[in-house]
Amino acid sequence: MLTELQKDMLTELVNVYVGQAANMLSEIVDKHIVLSIPEVELISISDVDPGDRRYKLFFSEGHLFRSSLQFGYDFQGKAFLMFPAEQAKVLANMCLGELTETIEPEECRLLDTDLDVLKEVSNILLNAIIGEFGNFLEMKLEYVLPDIELLHVTHSDPQILLQNEVYVLVLHTSFLLADTNVKGIILIALSMNSISSLLDKMNALLEDDHG
Amino acid sequence: MKVLIVEDSIFVQKMMRKLIADHFPESEIQTANNGEEGYQQYLEFKPDFITTDLLMPNLSGQEMLRMIREIDREVRIIILSADIQKVTREEVENLGISGFLNKPLTVEKANTLIQMIQVAHHAD
């Protein structure tokens, strides 16, 4: 549904915004962040294939930490940041200044302090990305307070992560904290109206660029 | 000097409290978990400075700022928020603030925050 030029532009935008978010995370944990090239797709949630390698992290069986930030008005959607629970624990420890780069399974229980830190970190990262979309579109976005959840995912219920979402544009990217196995995924789902606003703005810029 | 920290993250509250206490050992510091508590604390504690987050439960930092500015144009308010939208910044600047910093609070931004407090404190 996206032309090559639109896809290229959107990928570039997401790349820059995620890069800024990664830089913020790098400042918090004092570690280099390795980013993957973002992948941008316009798809129906019902068409998401759990067997697709890109969804491996969040459709793998086990506990998952998920933070979400809902935003609204003219540009509407929900952004998700997800980590396997034990990796979320490592990230929380690093934010609290503990030099734990791996964690034993029996130590991976997330305490209230960890959840508070992870919520704050997620909020900073997701705001950095979504806020830039607002700046790009010259629209004021209103945020709903971020939610955090610990989910248990089994192979039989892969749709648990997206079951209540009706959005169709999926932008996903992953990042890796150097010297650790912490790998998270950011996924942004947008409503159809928001996709139209975004495409209109991009088309206008592309037309300007081509005279 | 009396400082009120309004922030829903306990982690950030602690960081801010330590930062301010380290640089201004004579200061008296109180904390609030959201805008509603922040407004009540403002009325009772009568701080010289307020640092506040924006997106918080019950009452946002922006709403709290608006309510405070209806009765007080003097108290110094510094925003520390993850919201990077230019429109948000303009809106709170129009309400009268002494500074706006985006999270995360890095060493560099912590120094800026301390400088902002010092400048405003000496101007009084």
Model confidence pLDDT, tens digit, residues A94-119: 888 776 666 666 667 888 999 999 99
CA distance A195 to A106: 43
Cα–Cα distance measured from residue B121 to residue B115, given in angstroms and rounded to the nearest whole number: 10
Q: What is the pLDDT of residues A15-24, one digit of tens each?
A: 888 888 888 8
- Distance between B122 CA and the closest CA of chain A, angstroms: 31
Per-residue model confidence (pLDDT) at position A84? 85
pLDDT of A59 over the 60 cut = no
pTM for the structure as a whole = 0.82
Question: Is A171 in CB contact (< 8 Å) with chain B?
Answer: no
The more confident residue out of B23 and A167 is: B23
Question: What is the Cα–Cα distance from A144 to A140, expressed in whole angstroms?
Answer: 13
Which one-letter amino acid corresponds to residue A36?
A: S
Residue contacts between A and B (CB atoms, under 8 Å): 53
Question: In this model, does residue A56 exceed pLDDT 70?
Answer: no
User: Does B103 contact A at CB distance below 8 Å?
Assistant: yes
Confidence tier at B121 by pLDDT (50, 70, 90): confident
Among the partner-chain residues B12, B85, B88, the one whose CB lies closest to the CB of A120 is: B12
Strands (E), chain A: 33-35, 39-42, 62-72, 77-84, 142-143, 147-153, 169-177, 183-190
Q: Which of A28, A121, A145 sits opposite B57 (nearest CB)?
A: A145
> Given this model, what pLDDT does residue A64 score?
85
